[in-house]
Structure 1
Amino acid sequence: MELTQIRLLVSDFPACYRFYRDVLGLAPQFDNEQGPYAKLSPEGGSAAIALHDRAQMADLVGALAGAPSGHRALIALRVDDLDAVHAELTARGGVFLRDPAPLGDRIRAAHLADPEGNLIELQEWTQPHG
């Protein structure tokens, strides 16, 4: 078995697509702002984040519970310079729920949410992870 992607089911596909492309700066595999599916990757080609229109998926599987609320998922992205990325994303319209601060003794982190309420954790590793 091989994990190919983590896919977020979203209700407002265009808003989420623009957030991941324009605010986080992820590169879309193909231009598809209207959906129903997109795959976006950070520079350097690490694992991708996929978006899928929630209503279409509900039709495919026959049922999904009502509209979700609150934070449902957390996506962690490692960065080399958290303060610089925080400033860059703020300039692009990102609104942070938590500014850069220590998170344990080996990570500094900052948090923001996408338009659907999924949390994005930006991590700067202050000590090697093993």
Structure 2
Amino acid sequence: MNLKYAYTRLNVENYEACKLFYKNVLGLTALYENDAEEYAELDAGETKITILNRARLKEYIGPTEAVAYDSHNAKIALTFTVRNLDEAIAHLKSHGVVMINDPWQRPEDGLMQGGFITTCFRDPDGNLIEFEQILS
């Protein structure tokens, strides 16, 4: 089997608010938008993030599969690197984003030389997002 990672899809309750958040606050570029179907694909650098109104999810997985959501879900986190974490946090706060935690430094552990500084916040639908500034 030869797999190639295609994208991460967020199944959201509020399609419009999330689409605008990822475009206007995080600055991702829309590659495709179909507001009638409540689906959008956004350029996230090495991959894409897609947004789908989760009310439409049954069309993809069938009517018998149970689906549950929790507003504090942390089973997945979207992690982005930023050049300057302080500037990124100021930008987020200027858009009303509430940070979950204060920035903290993760020491060098062999995986990332110099370590990194990180902090987390949530999108309008409660999905966990992490920003990292790589230290070198």
The two structures share one fold, judged by TM-score above 0.5? yes
Match of 2:120 among 111, 118, 122: 111
Residues of 2 paired with 1:30 and 1:81: CA distance?
A: 29
> TM-score normalised to the size of structure 1?
0.83
- Describe the superposition over 1:55-88 as per-residue Cα deviations: whole angstroms up to 9, x where unpaired: 1121332134234442242000011111111111
- Return the offset for 1:32: 4.5
Residues 7, 31 of structure 1: alpha-carbon distance in 2 compared, 3 angstrom cutoff: closer
Query: What one-letter code is carried by the residue in structure 2 that aligns with 1:6?
Result: T
Query: What one-letter code is carried by the residue in structure 1 that aligns with 2:84?
Result: D
**Structure 2 residue ranges without an equivalent (≥5):** 109-114
> TM-score normalised to the size of structure 2?
0.80
Secondary structure of 1:15's match? helix
- Return the offset for 1:35: 4.8
Residues 34, 111 of structure 1: alpha-carbon distance in 2 compared, 3 angstrom cutoff: farther
Pairing of 1:29-40 with structure 2 (within 5 A): 29-32=31-34, 35-40=37-42
Match of 2:77 among 56, 74, 78: 74
Larger Rg: 2
Total equivalences in the alignment: 125
State whether structure 2 residue 58 is matched by structure 1 residue 58: yes
- Return the offset for 1:34: 6.0
* Contact residue 33 and residue 39 of structure 2 kept, 8 A: no
Q: Note the aligned Cα RMSD (angstroms).
A: 1.9
Residues of 2 paired with 1:76 and 1:95: CA distance?
A: 17
* Contact residue 58 and residue 64 of structure 1 kept, 8 A: no
Match of 1:20 among 6, 9, 22: 22
**Structure 1 residue ranges without an equivalent (≥5):** none
Residues of 2 paired with 1:33 and 1:80: CA distance?
A: 32
Secondary structure of 2:58's match? helix
Secondary structure of 1:71's match? coil
| Residue identity (%) | 30
